[in-house]
Structure 1
Amino acid sequence: MPHTKDELPDVLYSAAQVRALDASLIAAGTAGFELMQRAARATWRALVRQWPTANELSVLVGHGNNAGDGYLVAVLAQRAGWSVRVLAVGDPQRLQGDAASAHAEAVSEQVLIEPWTAQSGLRGIVLDALLGTGLSGDVRDPYVSAIAAINASGLPVAAVDIPSGLCADTGRILGDAVHADLTVTFIGLKVGLFTGDAADVTGELVFNDLQADPQLLNGTAFTARRLCIANLPRLVSRAPASHKGKFGHVLLIGGDRGYGGAILLSAQSALRSGAGMVSLSTRPEHVSPALSRIPEAMVLGTSSANQLMGLLEKVSVLVVGPGLGQAGWGRSLLSTAANAPLPQVWDADALNLLAGGQVDLPKGCVITPHPGEAARLLGVSTADVQSDRPAAAHALSKKYTAVVVLKGAGSLIAHPDGRLALCHQGHPAMATAGLGDVLAGLLGALLAQGMEPFDAACLAVWLHANAGEQQGKLGRGLAASDLIPAIRQLLEEQAPCLK
């Protein structure tokens, strides 16, 4: 997602919460039309910064407050000498309140305003001021046709507050959505701008609080916290006399026949992320390759779950699932792990077996499903999960009394107490096998070093996503193992080992 500057607030709101903030600003003495003018000025400044040589603007407006913003941007552009045309998709006669006042100002400035038709040509920069954050159901005509025309135009596109058709609460495209190159959003960041389909339609995001009183913002309920360097949990520095016994012993369980690489990636990730000791329980035929690749790990060739019993008494954290499979071997190992009173990370086939009712999840675990696994765990479709990712993350956390990492674009971390964190970093080059195995091992290492599950999940997801973003800049062909040295470097930058 091209959020190139991390200058955004870390608090994310629902559409209703932002509307409440807007109402509070008005109640505190800022006129609604003044807020609209501030939004228009913020949008105009962002347009000029983004396209400094442009001199032509096509504004598509509906009949809500978004339209009011659009009319006022058109006024500013015309005053600056641009060639401006407003195409009214919604009937201007339906405008009310501040939006009607904005339309009247555009009329008084002699801005060209025409009804939009399928034959209306678009020119210059296209400003999407069609639909705002109040949209709940799928987009209907004539907006469907207008959105299609914007997307087919090939012109630069800026969206006012949110790309039309994107749900502000869930990040789901409601039938169709404007694909913006720039989105200028106001007062409070909407959670839907950072997860689900948002990455494909938002473009670069610019935020303006419209001079809102910080105390008012700080006292308002919010939906999620956006992970950024300023609010990340941190590992404490190590004392000079530290030894391996102080930083945990991670046991990784998995790697059935044909899946040995997955558990090796997890083990390598745990080792390079600071675990004091790493043990690996896998199929006997994988022992030699594991020792060859990770000589620092203690590798147990495991034919039956009974062989785990002694080892479970010596370790502090379990990572279960990468390459585990769903056959008898994996089921028996998972069942044994489930009875161990240890912090645990469950991933991959451990989650599929959990969804199938094969085993119960111990309390205090971290689970790391991708959307398909999340759907199986909830007994719904993958589309249902993706249609409201925040709700799915909360539902999983409550159902299993676990910290949940719902992976995907805009990964979410949910705690059973209702906390929700979001990580929007990443890169499309990360769409490759094995990255989840790396994340599971990283999580295990952070737990082993004493972090609480929610904090460990937040830090692990951020490190993983930013390492992927860093390595993804090299382009296609990213391998999961490429992330491991990048994670180590980022972890040291974020929390140095030695003071």
Structure 2
Amino acid sequence: MPETKLPSELFLSQQVRDIDSSAINRHGIKGFSLMNKAAKFSFNILLERFPNCQKVTVLCGSGNNAGDGYIVAALAKAYGIACNVYFLSPPDKLVGDAQSAYQMCLAENVSCDHYSDKSLASETDNHIIVDALLGTGLNSPVRGLYADAIEAANKSTAPILAIDIPSGLNANTGSIMGTAIEADCTASFIALKLGLFTAEGQHYTGELYYDDLEVPAKIINEQTPIAHCLSLQKLLDQVSVRPRHFHKGNCGHTLIVGGDRGYGGAVLMAAEAALRCGSGLTSVITHQDHCSALLSRTPEVMVTSTENTQQVEQLLDAATVIVIGPGLGRSAWSEKLLQRVIKLDKPLVLDADALNILTNKQNWINSVDKENQGKRIYTPHPGEAARLLGHGSAGLIQQDRLHAITELSNKLGGHILLKGSGSLLASKGETISICPYGNPGMASGGMGDVLSGIIGSLVAQGFDEGFALRLATTLHARAADIAAKQSGERGLSACDLIPVVRSLLNKLNYEL
């Protein structure tokens, strides 16, 4: 997606509740005023997104999220749109601001009925469902009537607007708590929640809209963000034009190591990505079977076989940065290469099978001294992360990606990229970052190989490892969005990204 006006700071749900409490209890902002503003913002989004709306059905649970929904219903009725409410918690049990919101709804003569397995099938093409069921406080799987209502809403042909967060989505982790609303759009308030951006969050959230409800920044700033959303524009603003007198020696030497028998394409893609992103020199150490193909495809790349031990040692010594893992395999040949490389006192990008081999080589990880830990970049997908942490499955990693990347950082040191929707990035002593770009078209072979080449190329050119990882990740994901917009997500290949990444890095042609 292009750059938006969303704030970059992300918070946990309890932090947002603390901000809300501080605004009300310490700074004198009326809770009902905040509720009215949230509802009005949500209703305005409804009108903006669905200008031909003729009917609104609001699903209300309990608490303040339900209060927002009751006021949206009142606003819709006052606007002249047919509206009804299905409640899943008796309104007479509502207290405080939520009860006041219900009374406001009744004053507009909105029809309010208990939800009991009612069909939410659209009666008109311009019927909108508003989700005000559960909010951010959910801490156990959705069951019973609430699960039934969510499933019915999802089966309906009507678009869904979620208030604050899609019901059933974990606000901290982005995982699904049994079942969740698949919203077309979500109106969120005061401060953005991490779960909207990672794991399954982006899919269930749809298009995200945000309003601070006029809560002063000083109140929001009482909480320290748990993560920051990366901005490609801001990262590129830190990339300067090369001086006119630069030559290849000023632009670093990226060495790609991998490509066991049958896996030559991986090192080829990584090398081509490094070359096209500006590495002054790009070399490959690979199996002898792949040397001819690599030279035919990219004659600018220097290629040597592992059998040429003298040249291998020369390249290892000459490289500015080494990328190891693409197509590496897990054979004795693979382990021997990794064992040789991991001891080196220079920046390393460890990807794919390099990570899988390390799963059973804790002593190799421990052998890296603290000074060199800061030169290591690890780029696991959830399956590789699970193996590195001994957690057994990618599913367990996806249930709490924030916890997983924190564990990886503590175990490995250096710089970590936990791939996946809403990729997370961690560097020691820094706030975790999240990449807001990317799409399902990236679910194809070779994407990680291209990314590792981009990372290596940027490190070779003199960017520090943490910045190089952040820039490479956002370039890669944003390039995928641009390529998918041009030709569609299905059939998107890793090599499709390389020319787009090059143009983005040179600040040419594309909207960021």
- After TM superposition, the score normalised by the length of structure 2 is 0.93
> 1:469 & 1:415 partners in 2: Cα distance?
26
1:128 maps onto 2:131 in alignment: yes
C-alpha displacement of 1:447: 0.7
Identify the residue that residue 204 of structure 2 maps to in structure 1.
201
Identify the residue that residue 451 of structure 1 maps to in structure 2.
463
SS at match of 1:114: strand
Tell me the amino acid that sits aligned with residue 431 of structure 2.
R
Match of 2:265 among 261, 267, 286: 261
SS at match of 1:136: coil
1:169 maps onto 2:183 in alignment: no
Q: CA 1:495/1:220 → structure 2, altered by over 3 Å: closer, same or farther?
A: farther
In structure 1, stretches of 5+ residues that fail to align are none
Q: CA 1:243/1:304 → structure 2, altered by over 3 Å: closer, same or farther?
A: closer
C-alpha displacement of 1:306: 6.7
> 2:310 & 2:117 partners in 1: Cα distance?
71
1:410 maps onto 2:422 in alignment: yes
> 2:140 & 2:306 partners in 1: Cα distance?
53
Tell me the amino acid that sits aligned with residue 127 of structure 1.
V
1:487 maps onto 2:501 in alignment: yes
- Kept after mapping to 2: 8 A contact 1:303/1:329: no
- 1:38-71 deviation per Cα after TM superposition (whole angstroms, max 9, x unaligned): 0000000000001101121100000111000000
- Kept after mapping to 2: 8 A contact 1:394/1:418: no
Identify the residue that residue 14 of structure 1 maps to in structure 2.
12
Match of 2:319 among 315, 319, 325: 315
1:29 maps onto 2:50 in alignment: no
- Kept after mapping to 1: 8 A contact 2:276/2:502: yes
- 1:307-354 deviation per Cα after TM superposition (whole angstroms, max 9, x unaligned): 532322211100000001100111101000011100010000000001
- Kept after mapping to 2: 8 A contact 1:280/1:300: yes
What does residue range 229-248 of structure 1 map to in structure 2 within 5 Å?
A: 229-232=232-235, 234-248=238-252
Q: CA 1:4/1:63 → structure 2, altered by over 3 Å: closer, same or farther?
A: farther
Identify the residue that residue 163 of structure 2 maps to in structure 1.
160
> 2:166 & 2:402 partners in 1: Cα distance?
19
C-alpha displacement of 1:303: 2.5
SS at match of 1:79: helix
Tell me the amino acid that sits aligned with residue 62 of structure 1.
G
C-alpha displacement of 1:5: 5.9
SS at match of 1:231: helix
What does residue range 367-386 of structure 1 map to in structure 2 within 5 Å?
A: 367-380=378-391, 381-386=393-398
Tell me the amino acid that sits aligned with residue 292 of structure 1.
S
> 2:206 & 2:257 partners in 1: Cα distance?
41
SS at match of 2:318: coil
SS at match of 2:228: strand
> 2:219 & 2:232 partners in 1: Cα distance?
24
SS at match of 1:7: coil
1:180 maps onto 2:180 in alignment: no
Identify the residue that residue 345 of structure 1 maps to in structure 2.
349
Q: CA 1:354/1:173 → structure 2, altered by over 3 Å: closer, same or farther?
A: same
Q: CA 1:94/1:360 → structure 2, altered by over 3 Å: closer, same or farther?
A: farther
- 1:6-40 deviation per Cα after TM superposition (whole angstroms, max 9, x unaligned): 12111111111111111222221210000000000
Match of 2:141 among 138, 143, 148: 138
Tell me the amino acid that sits aligned with residue 419 of structure 1.
T
- 1:179-203 deviation per Cα after TM superposition (whole angstroms, max 9, x unaligned): 1111000011111001111122111
> 2:187 & 2:162 partners in 1: Cα distance?
6
Identify the residue that residue 293 of structure 2 maps to in structure 1.
289
Q: CA 1:142/1:305 → structure 2, altered by over 3 Å: closer, same or farther?
A: farther
Q: Give RMSD over aligned pairs.
A: 1.7
Identify the residue that residue 63 of structure 2 maps to in structure 1.
64
- Kept after mapping to 1: 8 A contact 2:10/2:191: yes
- Kept after mapping to 2: 8 A contact 1:4/1:204: no
C-alpha displacement of 1:416: 2.4
Q: CA 1:349/1:145 → structure 2, altered by over 3 Å: closer, same or farther?
A: same
In structure 2, stretches of 5+ residues that fail to align are none
Match of 1:300 among 304, 309, 334: 304
- Kept after mapping to 2: 8 A contact 1:55/1:82: yes
- 1:232-252 deviation per Cα after TM superposition (whole angstroms, max 9, x unaligned): 263332111011111111111
C-alpha displacement of 1:398: 1.2
Larger deviation, residues 112-121 vs 442-451: 112-121
- Kept after mapping to 2: 8 A contact 1:304/1:333: no
C-alpha displacement of 1:285: 2.0
Identify the residue that residue 465 of structure 1 maps to in structure 2.
477
> 2:274 & 2:380 partners in 1: Cα distance?
19
- Kept after mapping to 2: 8 A contact 1:281/1:299: yes
Count how many residue pairs are aligned between Structure 1 and Structure 2. 494
> 1:359 & 1:425 partners in 2: Cα distance?
36
Tell me the amino acid that sits aligned with residue 364 of structure 2.
D
- Kept after mapping to 2: 8 A contact 1:304/1:332: no
Larger deviation, residues 142-151 vs 108-117: 108-117
C-alpha displacement of 1:122: 5.2
1:432 maps onto 2:444 in alignment: yes
Q: CA 1:292/1:140 → structure 2, altered by over 3 Å: closer, same or farther?
A: same
- Kept after mapping to 1: 8 A contact 2:252/2:281: yes
1:107 maps onto 2:106 in alignment: yes
- Kept after mapping to 1: 8 A contact 2:161/2:183: yes
- Kept after mapping to 2: 8 A contact 1:252/1:281: yes
- Kept after mapping to 1: 8 A contact 2:46/2:161: yes
SS at match of 2:334: helix
- 1:94-117 deviation per Cα after TM superposition (whole angstroms, max 9, x unaligned): 212111111121122222111111
- 1:75-94 deviation per Cα after TM superposition (whole angstroms, max 9, x unaligned): 10010011111101112122
Tell me the amino acid that sits aligned with residue 412 of structure 2.
Y
> Identity of counterpart residues, as a percentage?
44
> 2:72 & 2:342 partners in 1: Cα distance?
59
- Kept after mapping to 2: 8 A contact 1:428/1:472: no
SS at match of 1:396: helix
C-alpha displacement of 1:451: 1.3
Q: CA 1:122/1:105 → structure 2, altered by over 3 Å: closer, same or farther?
A: farther
